[in-house]
Amino acid sequence: GESVGLHLPTLSVQEGDNSIINCAYSNSASDYFIWYKQESGKGPQFIIDIRSNMDKRQGQRVTVLLNKTVKHLSLQIAATQPGDSAVYFCAENTGNQFYFGTGTSLTVIP
């Protein structure tokens, strides 16, 4: 669950396509999960969250899926736009601690 050295997975998608970003979490006791978007030189920006009593949650153009059986979280971005290019990472909450994934770098090709 803790952040590790940065060799970011990368994902390139065509503008207008859907993007799926995956995250494996480590602690089966984690009960709250957040997806963040971080643009270069900026702070992580909250996108969407989900609690462990749900398996799907939808926002505006984004959907988060939670599979507790395999400890997997995914973020789906519909109709990806150039402004979606950023690093995306998930965070899991266990007790009062958040642990962050290393992130995935999304590049949207116009």
Partner 1 sequence: DSGVTQTPKHLITATGQRVTLRCSPRSGDLSVYWYQQSLDQGLQFLIQYYNGEERAKGNILERFSAQQFPDLHSELNLSSLELGDSALYFCASSLTVAGNTIYFGEGSWLTVV
Residue 26 touches partner 1, criterion: CB under 8 A: no
Q: Are 93 and 1 in contact (CB under 8 A)?
A: no
Residue 98 touches partner 1, criterion: CB under 8 A: yes
Residue 46 touches partner 1, criterion: CB under 8 A: yes
Q: How far is CA 55 from the centre of its chain?
A: 14
The 19-24 sheet, strands edge to edge: 19-24, 72-77, 62-67, 56-58
Residue 45 touches partner 1, criterion: CB under 8 A: yes
Closest CB 89 distance from partner 1, rounded Å: 7
Nearer to partner 1, 18 or 45 (CB): 45
Per CB under 8 A, the list member of 93, 104, 106, 108 interacting with partner 1 is: 93
d(CA 106, CA 34): 17
Q: 10 Å Cβ neighbour count for 69?
A: 8
Q: Which residues bind partner 1 (CB under 8 A)?
A: 2-6, 31-32, 34, 36, 41-46, 49, 51, 89, 91, 93, 95-103
